[in-house]
């Protein structure tokens, strides 16, 4: 049994997953670690990471590698997403990581990111061959909307709708109604063509089964469920939140300041300032796709990276894995 690690250099946080390989190309989580860096914010305002963000990113990369070694991982695969792929100085950071650690980071395209997240969600639910879902992965810098299953991506898009990227478009705390309405409309304009493509790809033309991952979606789902049921769920995989519950939760979180929002049930304090923008994008998605329910998932990109390496290797291959001494 091989112990592997996946390092996700995300737009909001860097994430580590250490997992054991199981028979049949499956994996079992051993440990996870996350460090918030908010790289999407300097990239959104200046087009680059900047010296300070590169320094923090390099230190965090080294910290997570050390954690992977401590956890017994033998090999590691590192991928980067929207902030680094968009930053004019992203290459400088990746060259530094390669020089200091001998690890080449795979910069994913938006569609590759969506396909791997979808694969992770399909793996979490043991989706049988031939079954398809709509996977929603709302990251800090981009939003991956992917329709397909274990057999790969059928339709989808990577959209510039990450909440860390959009946060500056909402003025005030709580944000103004006019700004929220404008951002909601802008999101709908981007999402409707994707919804049309997915409808063409779906065999029956009905709204697809939708599954959502990443911290923003999980926080929004937990808040909606907590307000409806009075208790905040600890485990989210397979929990179903309705569109009405999401709308009620969103109305609550935009009625208070960021400081007050941190105290709401299910809300991560480090993400409280991102939820007004993220919630608008999620509600626009429910509207564009005609969704009334959303299943929550705790697996996504990192799990998809390892499942792809152990399976079809459509996006990443075992040759890209670096040995950990």
| Structural domains in the chain plus CATH codes | 3-110+302-323 (3.30.420.40), 126-296 (3.30.420.150)
Confidence at residue 235, expressed as pLDDT on a 0 to 100 scale: 87
Confidence at residue 122, expressed as pLDDT on a 0 to 100 scale: 95
CB 287 within 8 A of CB 272: no
How far is CA 49 from its chain centroid? 20
CA distance 10 to 90: 12
Helices and strands in the chain: count of H runs, count of E runs: 12, 12
Alpha helices in 90-176 (DSSP H): 90-101, 110-124, 163-166
- Strand, coil or helix: what is 185? helix
State the Cα torsion 252-140-37-116 to the nearest 10°: 130
- What single DSSP character describes residue 294? E
- Strand, coil or helix: what is 231? coil
Residue with tokens 């500056």: 168
Confidence at residue 193, expressed as pLDDT on a 0 to 100 scale: 97
CA distance 64 to 7: 8
CA distance 116 to 97: 23
Confidence at residue 130, expressed as pLDDT on a 0 to 100 scale: 85
Confidence at residue 1, expressed as pLDDT on a 0 to 100 scale: 66
Confidence at residue 175, expressed as pLDDT on a 0 to 100 scale: 96
Residues with pLDDT less than 50, the chain: none
């Amino acid at each position: 049994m091989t112990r592997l690690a996946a390092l996700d250099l995300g737009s909001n946080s860097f994430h580590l997953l250490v997992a054991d390989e199981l028979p049949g190309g499956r994996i079992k989580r051993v440990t996870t670690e996350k460090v918030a860096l908010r790289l999407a914010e300097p990239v959104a305002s200046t087009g680059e990471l900047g010296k300070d963000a590169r320094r923090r990113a390099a230190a965090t990369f080294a910290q997570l590698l050390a954690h992977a070694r401590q956890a017994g991982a033998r090999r590691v695969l590192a991928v980067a997403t929207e902030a680094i792929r968009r930053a004019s100085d992203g290459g400088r950071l990746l060259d530094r990581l390669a020089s200091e650690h001998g690890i080449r980071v795979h910069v994913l395209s938006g569609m590759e990111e969506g396909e791997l997240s979808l694969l992770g969600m399909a793996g979490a639910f043991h989706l049988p061959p031939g079954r398809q879902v709509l996977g929603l992965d709302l990251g800090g810098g981009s939003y991956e909307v992917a329709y397909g299953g274990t057999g790969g991506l059928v339709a989808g898009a990577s959209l510039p709708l990450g909440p860390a990227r959009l946060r500056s478009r909402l003025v005030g705390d709580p944000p103004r109604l006019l700004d929220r309405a404008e951002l909601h409309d802008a999101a709908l304009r981007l999402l409707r063509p994707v919804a049309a493509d997915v409808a063409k790809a779906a065999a029956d033309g009905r709204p697809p089964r939708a599954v959502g991952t990443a911290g923003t979606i999980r926080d929004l789902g937990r808040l909606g469920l907590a307000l409806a049921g009075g208790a905040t769920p600890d485990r989210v995989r397979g929990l179903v939140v309705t569109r009405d519950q999401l709308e009620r939760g969103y109305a609550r979180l935009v009625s208070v300041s960021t400081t007050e929002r941190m105290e709401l049930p299910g809300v991560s304090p480090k993400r409280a300032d991102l939820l007004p923008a993220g919630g608008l994008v999620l509600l626009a998605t429910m509207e564009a796709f005609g969704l009334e329910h959303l299943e929550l998932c705790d697996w996504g990109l990192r799990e998809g990276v390892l499942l792809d390496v152990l399976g079809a290797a459509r996006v990443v291959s075992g040759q890209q894995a670096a040995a950990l001494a």
